[in-house]
Amino acid sequence: MPLVSTDRITSPARAASLGVGAFNVVQIEHAQAIVAGAERAGLPVVLQISENTARYHGGLAPIGLASLALARGSAVPVSVHLDHAESEDLVHEAVRLGFTSVMFDASKSPYEENLAATRKVVAYCHEAGVWVEAELGEVGGKDGAHAPGVRTDPEEARAFVQATGVDALAVAVGSSHAMLTRDAVLDLGLIASLRTAVDVPLVLHGSSGVGDEDLARAVAAGMTKVNISTHLNKIFTAEVRARLTAAPEVADPRTYLGPARDAVAAEVARLLGVLAGR
């Protein structure tokens, strides 16, 4: 399958009340695992690269171009998405490289500033045919980003989507970034209200902290795009740690990164099934 727009994945899923897995790439093994898992499940997937990951690699191009190449060679639809970009310059670079969607995050700014900055990014991206996700009601967790009780207001969400023209909206409904346990409590009633209020896909960030049953409930309530990162990183790291503990003399990284990649692929396939209601 060719590289596809994120809209080609999320719009049919939203219409069918199904969830779409969006998994974060940290290094090439993650991208390979995510594509392999999607192929195993026979389901589309979103490869995400965050601004932090671009910084880790010394720029967006190295990991971005590798992810784009894997997407183009996949047997299932794959989109490549820039996640949590706070820099407009990075958004522009992603568009130039061929990313099919971006998430512009001005959620730390006051509402009017968020709206103005997001509208500007949307205009730029839409001219290039690139799908745009934004965030309203900052999703917490990383760096103490917000107090636990913050939630996205449905009427404010409706006004924000109409004013900016965004293609998807990440909302605060009880999840939190970088959680190491899967016990977040989601506000399912709020998700349903947001689904009614806006006519674009809703995005659940911080989904690593949400258990399987609640992921399924969130999708049934109205979530479409479900972002998962820390959960897969835990699996990857645990497998590396186990391999190195068992054979501390090992020097070839392929002997421990390969099994870690396989473990993540298996979990991606399983999670995609959960989100698709299988």
Catalytic residue IDs? 83
- Kindly provide the b/e burial profile for residues 124-162, where b requires at least 16 CB atoms within 10 angstroms of the residue's own CB: bbeeeebbbbbbbbbbbbeeebbeeeeebbbeebbbbbe
CA-wise closest residue to 168 among 204, 128, 196: 204
Taking CA atoms, 88 is separated from 102, 109, 151, in Å, by: 10, 14, 26
Sign of the dihedral through C-alpha 210, 48, 156, 141: positive
108/134 Cα distance (integer angstroms): 12
d(CA 195, CA 154): 9
